[in-house]
Structure 1
Amino acid sequence: MILLPLLLLLSSLGSVSPVSPPVSPGYGRTEGAPCSRGPACDPRRRRDAGGRGGVYEHLGGAPRRRKLYCATKYHLQVHPSGRVDGSLEENHQLSIMEITAVDVGVVAIKGIFSGRYLAMNDKGRLYASEVFNRECEFIERIHELGYNTYASRHHSTEQPAAPGPSGARRRASAKRQWYVSINGKGRPRRGFKTRSTDKASLFLPRVLGNKDHEMVRRLLRERQGPSRGPRHPAHRGGRTDRRRRRHRGGKGRGRGEEH
């Protein structure tokens, strides 16, 4: 008679669930978790110096004005005639570029003084286009030591993948990208002959110097034309001076007649 109540008591104690510890309001949150500074954290990882990560912070905002210095010691130039080459001159106006983001990791490169866009056709040749088109889009990637590569977005080489060791194909096809490249003589290379590891395909975006900024300001003033603003104050000032002189002369003549 005593064992039956004990068994019922033990069974009731075993069915009680353990008490879970209290959970803080922000515990276990990954997206939108507050940072130490206050705003919500971005769940995506930031890009590091090697170009790995998820966010292209260097492509945001206004267009960047840079000079693309190749590892072969040439500055990329876009000519008004449609020609593209490299120059050893450090402060040349045709080497000043305007880099604009058109998509995530995709940029358009325009020569400020030539007014043309850098482009690559389906034969791998670089040329300067008067208008922006799909051949003017380049994939920008950051590599070691701060160098960048610019690969054509729409033109590449299709390479069928060879069978693997097990006999099965790893991929149906593989793409080899075509890069903007300037050789040791300052001439552009064909896209299908380039590699991302080639010295001629590595470019260092250089910030403009004082001489470059002065040339850009002069170009902008020439494009805007002569300003009409300064003429109005001088013109008004001349009229005011003439009116004062007439008024003074009239007063003098009036005084003479009274005497």
Structure 2
Amino acid sequence: MLMLPLLVLLGQLDLISSRARCAPGQACDPRQRRDAGGRGGVYEHLGGAPRRRKLYCATKYHLQIHPNGRIDGSLEENNPLSIMEITAVDVGVVAIKGLFSGRYLAMNDKGRLYASEVFNKECEFVERIHELGYNTYASRHHSTEQPLPAGGGGGGGGGSKRRASAKRQWYVSINGKGRPRRGFKTRSTDKASLFLPRVLGNKDHEMVRRLRDSQSAQQLAHQHGGRGERRRRRHRARKGRVRHPED
């Protein structure tokens, strides 16, 4: 009987310790973080993390992340900048990274989409599944506070008058011209805010394979170049220690 509460407690402690490794304001790879079930950032119902997908907007554009930090939409079917890695960072929260640009999708406090070189809190988006398989992605940390209408009746003390408020979420959105919309202008029901996560096709997998091969080649070249430079430094140091006979 005590086994289930103990497992829950251990899962919570694991979550706390994993969050402690990511100090506030510090760059943190979302793959190192865990969801509330302690599953290492893996959504069991979403098939693992990261998921490689292309986010196809209902406005017929693929979301793409450029290496220079720009965000927009592309009508191209096989565009490497449209290949995303979607990683779960918490329950219902994901990070979206451009595989070829190496940057994270982010939204600032003015509702503008941008591509961040490092993972930060503005890169966290609440993922919701809607009908017909479309998803929405809302900023986790930025939204509009809207006061609720005052209720009927005036009970309550005459001290501080507090009115309830509701948050209107800001969504990732690509309009009919392929441009991102400001978050505070979006709605979850807009076509521009609905995205279909598409599985990669054969041409996409081929581009990913070529990218992986080129990265491996660069890494090998860097390693060999480093060894060669170390050998040259040692050789120069030995030559400097050689004493020349006096005339």
Q: Give the TM interval when normalised to the shorter protein.
A: 0.5 to 0.7
Structure 1 gap ranges (5+): 1-28, 33-54, 229-259
Q: Which of 41, 49, 53 is 1:62 aligned to?
A: 49
Q: Which of 62, 65, 81 is 2:68 aligned to?
A: 81
Quick one: distance in 1 between partners of 2:75 and 2:162? 45
Quick one: distance in 1 between partners of 2:214 and 2:113? 29
Deviates most, 59-68 or 194-203: 59-68
Q: Which of 177, 180, 186 is 2:172 aligned to?
A: 180
Gap change, CA 1:216 and 1:167, over 3 Å in 2: farther
Task: Spell out structure 1 runs of 4+ moving beyond 3 A.
Answer: 55-60, 165-171
Q: Which of 179, 182, 193 is 1:190 aligned to?
A: 182
Aligned residues, how many? 178
Quick one: distance in 2 between partners of 1:94 and 1:105? 25
- Kept after mapping to 2: 8 A contact 1:78/1:118: yes
Give deviations 1:122-180, integer Å, cap 9, x for gaps.
00000000000000000000000000000000000011111124457996211000000
Q: Please give the residue correspondences for 1:64-143 in structure 2 after superposition, counting only pairs within 5 Å.
A: 64-143=51-130
Give identity over the alignment, percent: 84
Gap change, CA 1:153 and 1:87, over 3 Å in 2: same
- Kept after mapping to 1: 8 A contact 2:49/2:86: no
- Kept after mapping to 2: 8 A contact 1:59/1:105: no
Amino acid at match of 2:103: R
**TM-score, reference length from structure 2:** 0.67
Amino acid at match of 1:196: S
**TM-score, reference length from structure 1:** 0.64
Amino acid at match of 1:88: L
Give deviations 1:73-108, integer Å, cap 9, x for gaps.
000000001000001111100000000000000000
Gap change, CA 1:153 and 1:227, over 3 Å in 2: closer
Structure 2 gap ranges (5+): 5-36, 38-42, 156-160, 221-247
Q: Which of 121, 132, 147 is 1:160 aligned to?
A: 147
Quick one: distance in 2 between partners of 1:215 and 1:183? 27
Higher Cα Rg, which structure:
1
Gap change, CA 1:60 and 1:170, over 3 Å in 2: farther
